[in-house]
């Protein structure tokens, strides 16, 4: 509906409380040689080949801190926790052994999150926003929101790594599983704000919530035949706007 249909000063506008995104960034990270901590401890000596069955982001620890002498900007420190399922083989085409493990990576970004010196309290028991430090200054940090898709396992291999040993923090070499992950992420800094938005009157839906009285076969007859399921897509079909170059993506392969 056109904005010209609304008068911002009329009763058609109402105030609402929303989380406004003040700044955001997106990353495409290739995380190389991340050491995996196996639940079983060390990798058995008999295992010579490893592969990754699946990987997922199980947790993200987020820390937001104000940057001194640069008002309104904040450092966002992220620690990702990955859960992985590893398959190990004593020899090629042998019986696989499944291992579970955890890997960690950290990253940092600087974003603008504006400033606010207010404290907000809620009647429903929601924790208040904003706190007071030792100097009676109100500290109201923006909220960081991180969105990720499940990582892509690019490589899994066995590598000798150093692990802490003994009370003197000495290092000893041991066979460990390391992985290379591809990760897509979006980081946002938000604050609650009150904004005016145009509204329209609520109308009752006119479509009835009727139940189909047709027989199962009659319902099935109405379904479209899934022709696409019987015709796998080619590389030409998957490219957008007909941008087909005939090249497979490597230097030695051509159509």
143 in a structural domain = yes
Long-range CB contacts for residues 95-101, cutoff 8 Å, separation at least 24 = 97/44, 97/47, 98/53, 99/38, 99/39, 99/40, 99/43, 99/177, 100/38, 100/39, 101/36, 101/37, 101/38, 101/39, 101/177
Residue 206 lies in a domain: no
Assess contact for 244 and 234: CB atoms under 8 A: no
- Per the structure, how many domains does the chain have? 1
Is it the case that residue 138 has pLDDT exceeding 60?
A: no
In a domain? residue 234:
no
Q: pLDDT-derived band of residue 3, with 50, 70 and 90 as boundaries? A: very low
For residue 212, tell me if it sits in a domain: no
At 253 the pLDDT is: 47
CA distance 61 to 28: 19
pLDDT band, very low/low/confident/very high, at 10 (cuts 50, 70, 90): low
242, pLDDT greater than 60: no
Residue 224: pLDDT band with limits 50, 70, 90: confident
Q: Domain residues for 50?
A: 3-198
Average pLDDT, rounded, for the chain: 82
Residue 246 lies in a domain: no
pTM for this prediction: 0.73
Cα 131 to Cα 117: distance, rounded to the nearest angstrom:
9
* Section 56-64 average pLDDT: 95
More confident residue, 185 or 124: 185
In the predicted model, what is the mean pLDDT of residues 192-197? Answer: 89
């Amino acid at each position: 509906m056109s904005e010209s249909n609304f008068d911002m000063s009329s009763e058609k506008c109402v105030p609402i409380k929303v989380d406004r995104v003040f700044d955001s960034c997106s990353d495409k990270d290739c995380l190389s040689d991340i050491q995996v901590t196996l639940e079983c401890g060390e990798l058995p000596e008999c295992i010579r080949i490893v592969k990754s069955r699946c990987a997922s982001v199980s947790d993200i620890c987020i820390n937001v801190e104000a940057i001194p002498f640069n008002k309104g900007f904040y450092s966002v420190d992220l620690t990702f926790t990955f859960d992985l399922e590893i398959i190990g083989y004593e020899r090629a085409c042998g019986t696989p052994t499944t291992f579970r493990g955890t890997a960690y990576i950290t990253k940092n970004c600087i974003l603008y999150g504006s400033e606010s010196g207010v404290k907000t309290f809620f009647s429903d028991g929601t924790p208040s926003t904003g706190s007071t430090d030792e100097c009676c200054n109100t500290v109201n940090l923006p909220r960081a929101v991180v969105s990720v898709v499940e990582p892509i396992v690019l490589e899994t291999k066995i590598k000798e790594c150093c692990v802490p040993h003994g009370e003197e923090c000495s290092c000893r070499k041991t066979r460990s599983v390391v992985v290379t992950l591809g990760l897509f992420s979006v980081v946002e800094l938000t604050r609650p704000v009150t904004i005016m938005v145009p509204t329209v009157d609520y109308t009752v839906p006119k479509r009835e919530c009727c139940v189909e009285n047709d027989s199962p076969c009659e319902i099935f007859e109405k379904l479209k035949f899934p022709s696409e399921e019987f015709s796998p897509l080619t590389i030409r079909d998957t490219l957008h706007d007909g941008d087909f170059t005939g090249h497979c993506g490597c230097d030695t392969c051509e159509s």
